[in-house]
């Protein structure tokens, strides 16, 4: 068998004819991308930034495309005004749902779950910057993010049981206990109560709490710091954090051995060594 070692694979083919997203034109929210950091701004401040069927679908599709984006290394998810997201729009989502039969309802709940899957599957770390109301699906998007930055006035509520629904929405019963523990998750999901910023930080849901006026600059600086790191290795870290939930310790150790060996093949690893020898700070380039 003859192996052609000189073959060149068109990256556009692998990336579905899209390898950059800096020029993406969002329809149902704001999108900006600079120096490897993408910012998604939920932009309906007059209604506390609720989601619609259309924004759900666009967010799902955009996070799916991020898997192939070579120019995005970290994502900030934030709400316009003084609120993060109030969940599904009462008039544009909740009202119409009451009129649907079970098959259509299941189509909707699968679509919302697909947004969480896409957020977890994209290799870029996602930072949720949370001020004010963070409720329902907003709380779920915060949960599905990799890191969470909040303010003292942020109020996170998994309020599903307060509207007659189960707390098991969009992966909450699987993911929330892993973030804050089974006991706290049970409290939050059974009560649906609003959790203030300081309590959320104590519980481990928020990584940091900052003054409201510092929320966006701190989130952007955090994302920029991540984006300046080894992009490929960061993506591997996110993948393993996700996949190892369903592994034994022995399986996890072997998977990490394989993943780390792969990272040792990257130029960024070589750059870090060379910078160390030269007593310099490494400049990572994502390959």
Beta pairing partners, 51: 88
Q: Is-contact 48 82, C-beta < 8 A?
A: no
Q: Which of 34, 17, 21, 16 is nearest to 69 (CA)?
A: 21
pLDDT at 94 (0 to 100): 81
Residue that has been written with the tokens 């519980």 in this structure: 203
The predicted structure's pLDDT at residue 95:
83
Cβ-based neighbour number of residue 82 at 10 Å: 15
* Number of Cβ atoms within 10 Å of the Cβ of 159: 22
Structure tokens at 206: 């928020």
Q: Could you give the strand order of the β-sheet that contains 133-135, starting from the edge strand earlier in sequence?
A: 133-135, 155-157, 195-196
* pLDDT number for residue 13: 54
Q: What pTM did the predictor assign?
A: 0.91
| Tokens encoding 120 | 């977890």
- By three-state DSSP, how is residue 204 classified? coil
Determine contact, residues 180/36, Cβ cutoff 8 Å.
Answer: no
Task: Determine which helix (DSSP H) or strand (DSSP E) holds 189, and give its type and residue range.
Answer: helix 182-191
Question: What integer pLDDT is reported at residue 258 of this predicted model?
Answer: 93
The total number of residues shown for the chain amounts to 287
Q: What is the pLDDT along the chain (287 residues), one digit of tens a residue?
A: 444 444 555 655 555 555 789 899 999 999 999 999 999 999 999 999 999 999 999 999 999 999 999 999 999 999 999 999 999 888 888 888 888 899 999 999 999 999 999 999 999 999 999 999 999 999 999 999 999 999 999 999 999 998 888 999 999 999 999 999 999 999 999 999 999 999 999 999 999 999 999 999 999 999 999 999 999 999 999 999 999 999 999 999 999 999 999 999 999 999 998 998 999 999 998 88
> Cα-Cα-Cα-Cα dihedral of 158, 163, 164, 170, to 10°?
-40
pLDDT the model gives residue 92: 82
Residue 253 has a CB neighbour count (10 Å cut-off) of 11
Query: What are the two backbone dihedrals, phi and then psi, of residue 88, each rounded to the nearest 5 degrees?
Result: -70, 135
Cβ atoms of residues 12 and 68 within 8 Å? no
List the one residue out of 207, 211, 206, 220 whose CA is nearest residue 76: 220
pLDDT score recorded for residue 97: 85
- The tokens describing 275, both together, are 């910078």
3-state SS, 54-69, equals HHHHHHHHHHHHHCCC
Contact between 253 and 263 (Cβ < 8 Å): no
């Amino acid at each position: 068998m003859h192996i052609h070692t000189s073959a060149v694979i068109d990256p556009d083919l692998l990336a579905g004819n899209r390898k950059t997203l800096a020029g993406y034109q969002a329809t149902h929210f704001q999108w900006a991308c600079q120096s490897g950091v993408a910012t998604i701004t939920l932009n309906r401040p007059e209604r506390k930034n609720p989601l619609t069927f259309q924004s759900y679908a666009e967010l799902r599709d955009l996070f799916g495309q991020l898997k192939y984006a070579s120019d995005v290394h970290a994502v900030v998810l934030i709400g316009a005004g003084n609120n993060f997201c109030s969940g599904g729009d009462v008039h544009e989502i909740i009202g119409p749902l009451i009129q649907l039969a079970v098959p259509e309802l299941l189509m909707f709940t699968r679509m919302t779950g697909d947004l969480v899957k896409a957020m977890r599957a994209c290799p870029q770390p996602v930072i949720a910057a949370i001020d004010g109301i963070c409720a329902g699906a907003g709380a779920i998007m915060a949960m599905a993010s990799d890191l969470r930055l909040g303010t003292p006035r942020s109020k996170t509520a998994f309020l599903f049981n307060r509207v007659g629904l189960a707390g098991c929405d969009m992966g909450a019963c699987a993911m929330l206990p892993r973030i804050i523990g089974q006991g706290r998750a049970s409290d939050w999901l059974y009560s649906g109560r609003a959790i203030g910023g300081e309590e959320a930080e104590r519980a481990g849901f928020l990584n940091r709490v900052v003054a409201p006026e510092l929320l966006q600059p701190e989130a952007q600086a955090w994302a920029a710091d991540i984006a300046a790191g080894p992009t490929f290795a960061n993506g591997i870290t996110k993948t393993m954090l996700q996949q190892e939930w369903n592994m034994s310790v022995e399986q996890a150790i072997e998977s990490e051995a394989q993943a780390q060996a792969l990272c040792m093949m990257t130029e960024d690893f070589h750059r870090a060594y060379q910078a160390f020898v030269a007593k310099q700070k490494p400049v990572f380039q994502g390959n």
